[in-house]
Amino acid sequence: MPCESTTMCQIISKSTVFPATKSTLPDLKLSVSDLPMLSCHHIQKGNLFLRPPAAIFDLLFLLRQGLSKVLTHFPPLAGRLITDDNGYVYITCNDAGAQFIHAIATHVTVSDIISPIRVPDCVKGFFAFDGMVSYGGHFNPLLAVQVTELGDGVFIGFSVNHAVVDGTSLWNFISTFAEVCRGVKLITKQPCFTRESILISSEVLKVPAGGLKVTFDEFAPMAERIFSFSKESILKLKETTNNQKNKKWLKNVEINAVNEIMGKHSNDPIKLSDENVTTLIGSWLRKRNDVTNTEPTPEISSFQSLCALLWRAVTRARKFPDSKLTTFRMAVNCRLRLEPKLEAFYFGNAIQSIPTYATAGDVLSQDLRWCAEQLNKNVLSHDDTMVRHFVRNWEQDPRCFPLGNFDGAMLTMGSSPRFPMLDNDFGWGKPVAVRSGRANKFDGKISAFPGRAGGGSVDLEVVLSPETMAEMELDPEKPHGSVRAQDADVTHPDAAPPRHVVLAAAGAAAVDAGA
């Protein structure tokens, strides 16, 4: 029976799980990357598993015990938020505990979740703290783990305060949780709780008397769908994108070579034969090649190719006039961009949102390479200097992050297929899929997950207005000047046979994201 409602999930029990050992961590001050997230919903991400061989009560015992143990490695997640007399917000690692929930939806099957073209509404019921903004961590747990029994599987949903973690921190916690449940004694990725970096500011975020709210319409109707891309299709797309650059460069080289040689020929009193001209052109090209090889053009990655493709796809579906300014916004991980670098598993938010702008006319009239290059330039230029510039900019006007699609022409990429989302074996096998809840979703919100097919494949969770999604799905099967589905294999993971739609219409994306 396909699931259609969030009310189809019945809560059986709620309890508080405390760390197995007391925390010795001091209060952790929220950074300039943490504070803007106080007005965002909790992060809601989870794993879908086939039915474990153990009885459900044994499974619940294993997960409760594992959560208690892993919280000793991640004390902030058992704490609460506090604000001092000066207005600074901290995580107090006071061992107040995390919430643990047991729910049932045994009439829902694994197939009911992963087979439909659109993500079913019942998935939203697999997560706690629905609609709660992160500022609520002053009064509520910072972490909730909900274990939902399905007819032939289990879903483990994590709801985590976004002012406390980004994607890197969240998935490191989940991976460590899985390790502990499997009996691993020495965890492989120890979190770092340092607060000594440029991200820690003396400025104060002013909170209005009425508290903080999300900056988008959380009740607007949305359509949500998972698009899957095989490793082979992504490599084809990357090759196509880079070949567009090579063809353009060769064409320009040829034109410049001919112009230069022919100009010299016409002004040279000694007339050259065709053979001489050919020899000179070859010599000119070799010299130009030698110069070019000393400063190679950066290769466009598969991530950037997919992002560019998505940008074009959604822009076409939204049917903007050529003059309309569009925005593709990406969250980038700043841990290794800073000098000195932060630890790879620095705990907290260490992300900044980078906008790239272009008119709808340019996005659609230029080739895929051009769009990818605009994104590539922004990502490459976001170094230590730029990170510090973003910090100073925030300090001049401390504010929460304005999440949403304010002019109807924005795309926001979150999450990353590089996160170990499908590696989390809690003791009975790896998950078969990743899904997210209702949190922080609006027209244009995209999340990239590692693909269910493995091996470098990518699954994309695409959230759009119903009208835009319908345009993408009904677009005629023709190239539109872009790469066709035959070249990129855009299908639902369980669709058979696949209905080839135009990539530019179906949409796709991935990015080096930090959340």
Q: Give the pLDDT band (50/70/90) at residue 295.
A: low
Size of the chain in residues: 515
Q: With left for phi above 0 and alpha for psi between -120 and 50, is residue 380 left, alpha or beta?
A: alpha
State the average pLDDT over residues 431-453: 96
Segment 299-318 shows an average pLDDT of 92
C-beta of residue 314 within 8 angstroms of C-beta of residue 468: yes
Of 172-176, 186-190, 254-258, the poorest mean pLDDT is in 254-258
Q: Specify the higher pLDDT residue, 293 or 113.
A: 113
Q: Which of 42, 38, 223 is nearest to 146 (CA)?
A: 42
Tokens found for residue 197: 């970096």
Position 66 scores a pLDDT of 98
Say whether 302-474 and 10-218 share the same fold. yes
Task: Give residue 243's pLDDT.
Answer: 83
**Span of 28-32, 112-116, 169-173, 289-293 with lowest mean pLDDT:** 289-293
Answer yes or no: is pLDDT of 247 > 70: no
> Cα separation of 382 and 186, whole Å?
35
From CA 341, how far away is CA 339, in angstroms rounded? 5
pLDDT 10s digits, 142-152: 999 999 999 99
Residue 261 has pLDDT above 50, yes or no: no
Closest to 78 in 3D by CA, of 131, 12, 25, 157: 25
Report the pLDDT value the prediction gives residue 4, as an integer from 0 to 100.
53
The answer to whether 463 touches 223, Cβ cutoff 8 Å, is: yes
Each residue of 64-80: pLDDT tens digit? 999 999 999 999 999 99
Instruction: Read off the pLDDT band of 241 (50, 70, 90).
Output: confident
Q: How confident is the model at residue 2 (pLDDT cuts 50, 70, 90)?
A: low
To the nearest whole percent, how much of the chain has pLDDT over 70?
81
pLDDT, position 278: 47
Give me the pLDDT at residue 32, please: 98
Least confident among 284-288, 308-312, 412-416, 419-423: 284-288
DSSP for 440-465, please give it: T--TTEEEEEE-TT-TT-EEEEEEE-
Quick: pLDDT tens for 180-239: 999 998 999 999 999 999 999 999 999 988 889 999 999 999 999 998 989 998 999 999
148-161 mean pLDDT: 98
pLDDT in the model for residue 203 = 97
Residue 286: per-residue pLDDT: 53
Query: What pLDDT shows up at residue 215?
Result: 95
Helix, coil or strand: residue 111: helix
Does the pLDDT value for residue 271 go beyond 60? no
At 347 the pLDDT is 98
Torsion angles phi and psi, residue 480, rounded to 5:
55, 25
Question: What pLDDT, on a 0 to 100 scale, did the predictor assign at position 242?
Answer: 87
Query: Residue 209: its pLDDT value, please?
Result: 83
CATH homologous superfamily, domain 10-218: Chloramphenicol acetyltransferase-like domain (3.30.559.10)
Q: What residues does each domain of the chain span? A: 10-218, 302-474
- pTM of the predicted model as reported, rounded to 2 decimal places: 0.84
Q: What is the dihedral of CA 58, 61, 67, 69, to 10 degrees?
A: -110
Span 106-113, average pLDDT: 97
Dump pLDDT digits (tens) for 376-397: 999 999 999 999 999 999 999 9
- Starting at the edge strand found earlier in the chain, the sheet holding 28-29 runs 28-29, 89-92, 80-83
pLDDT digits (tens, 9 = 90+) for 486-515: 233 333 333 332 222 223 223 333 333 444
pLDDT at 262: 37
pLDDT at 472: 87
Average pLDDT (300-328) is 94
| In the predicted structure, residue 38 carries a pLDDT above the cut 60 | yes
Give mean pLDDT, residues 170-184.
97
pLDDT for the residue 56: 95
pLDDT band at 303 (very low <50, low <70, confident <90, very high): confident
Mean pLDDT of the chain: 85
> Per CATH, which fold does 302-474 belong to?
Chloramphenicol Acetyltransferase (3.30.559)
Structure tokens at 198: 């440029």
d(CA 469, CA 506): 9
Helix (H, G, I), strand (E, B) or coil at 89: strand
